[in-house]
Amino acid sequence: MVNDIEAKHPQTNNLVKFADDLTVSVPVISSGDAALDEVGKNPLQSAGAVALLLAVKNNPSSGLMEIELMDITVNQEFLALLKEIQDGRPGIKISHGGSGGANEKPKERPAPMKILKNYIENNQMRLYDFFSMMDKDKSMSLTIQEFVNGLQETGIHMNDSELLALVESLDKDNDGEINYSELMLGSIEQKKEDRKQQLKDQAEEERRIKILTS
Ligand SMILES: [Ca+2]
Ligand SMILES: [Ca+2]
């Protein structure tokens, strides 16, 4: 049960305790904010996350920059609201633990490379288009900083550990940068993973049909 809000350093930063293991740093919003008080009293994590977004939405001048809700599985209402907020205020970064709805079990976050691949496919880009979009200084390799900036530009949400894991897994020659062939290799590896998953899902589906029809 979450029922307390901790306001520390009220002039610069309010820390809103949102769950036992989660404290949200909320800069600028005043400590007496009624909407945020509601968040703290909400016992449902997913509903609480929606309430938090509503508070953000209703405080257009809050200056809120980054909220991490990685331990929270969010619902469709949250996702719709998040999109609305982010469309209007691109400076706001909100990461969450994926959607699943209140009654579903939390889904695993997709692998970082899968997140990239989905973005590229959804935008009907070629891998090379994506690479050159990220490679701002046209050095034919991507630094971590270029990755960070590029992801921000695309609106892909990845937390620091996911980003580091991605760069580490792609950077085969360990020079700290990702060149095009490294990105391509990563994409091919992901394609193989996807295929494996697809076959697994297919087998699972066939098993289920067998049970249902036997
Ligand atoms: Ca570069
Ligand atoms: Ca490299």
* pLDDT tens track for 46-94: 777 777 778 777 777 666 567 777 767 777 788 888 888 888 777 777 7
Among 172, 196, 198, 167, CA closest to 185: 172
153 CA → ligand 2 middle, Å: 22
| Residue 35 domain flag | no
pLDDT attached to residue 183: 97
135 CA → ligand 1 middle, Å: 4
pLDDT attached to residue 100: 58
Count of the separate structural domains present in the chain? 2
| Residue 6 domain flag | no
Q: Which two tokens stand for residue 111?
A: 């692998």
Q: What is the pLDDT of residues 171-191, one digit of tens each?
A: 999 999 999 999 999 999 999
pLDDT attached to residue 10: 40
pLDDT attached to residue 11: 40
More confident residue, 175 or 158: 175
| Residue 150 domain flag | yes
pTM for the full model? 0.49
What ligand is nearest to the CA atom of residue 135?
1
Q: Which two tokens stand for residue 165?
A: 């894991």
Note the Cα 56 to chain centre separation in Å.
17
End-to-end CA distance of the chain: 45
Q: Looking at the structure, do residues 89 and 127 belong to the same domain, yes or no?
A: no
pLDDT attached to residue 191: 94
What ligand is nearest to the CA atom of residue 139?
1
Q: Looking at the structure, do residues 167 and 193 belong to the same domain, yes or no?
A: yes
Q: What is the DSSP string of the chain?
A: --------STTTEEEEEEETTEEEEEESS-TT-HHHHHHHH---HHHHHHHHHHHHHT-TTS---EEEETT--B-HHHHHHHHHHHHH-TT-EEEES-B--TTSPPPPPPPHHHHHHHHHHHTT--HHHHHHHH-TT-SSEE-HHHHHHHHHHHT----HHHHHHHHHHH-TT-SSSEEHHHHHHHHHHHHHHHHHHHHHHHHHHHHHHHHHH-
193 CA → ligand 1 middle, Å: 28
Q: Looking at the structure, do residues 117 and 67 belong to the same domain, yes or no?
A: no
Identify the bridge partners of residue 120 per DSSP, sorted by sequence position. Answer: none
Q: Looking at the structure, do residues 142 and 80 belong to the same domain, yes or no?
A: no
What ligand is nearest to the CA atom of residue 180?
2
Cα 182 to Cα 57, 144, 147, 170, 179: the distances in Å are 40, 14, 14, 6, 5
What ligand is nearest to the CA atom of residue 136?
1
Q: Looking at the structure, do residues 120 and 91 belong to the same domain, yes or no?
A: no
Q: Looking at the structure, do residues 24 and 86 belong to the same domain, yes or no?
A: yes
| Residue 173 domain flag | yes
143 CA → ligand 2 middle, Å: 9
Q: Looking at the structure, do residues 138 and 191 belong to the same domain, yes or no?
A: yes
Q: Looking at the structure, do residues 196 and 128 belong to the same domain, yes or no?
A: yes
Mean pLDDT of the chain: 77
CATH number at 194 reads: 1.10.238.10
Residue 29 has pLDDT above 70, yes or no: no
Q: What is the pLDDT of residues 129-153, one digit of tens each?
A: 999 999 999 999 999 999 999 998 9
For 73, phi then psi, to 5°, come to: -85, 125
pLDDT attached to residue 34: 46
Tell me the CB-side half-sphere exposure of residue 141, using CA atoms within 13 A. Answer: 14
201 CA → ligand 1 middle, Å: 38
Residue 25 has pLDDT above 60, yes or no: no
Q: What is the pLDDT of residues 32-50, one digit of tens each?
A: 444 444 444 333 467 777 7
pLDDT attached to residue 22: 47
139 CA → ligand 1 middle, Å: 4
172 CA → ligand 2 middle, Å: 6
Residue 169 has pLDDT above 50, yes or no: yes
Q: What is the pLDDT of residues 87-116, one digit of tens each?
A: 877 777 777 777 754 445 556 788 899 999
Q: Which domain holds residue 201?
A: 112-205
Largest Cα separation within the chain, whole Å, is 67
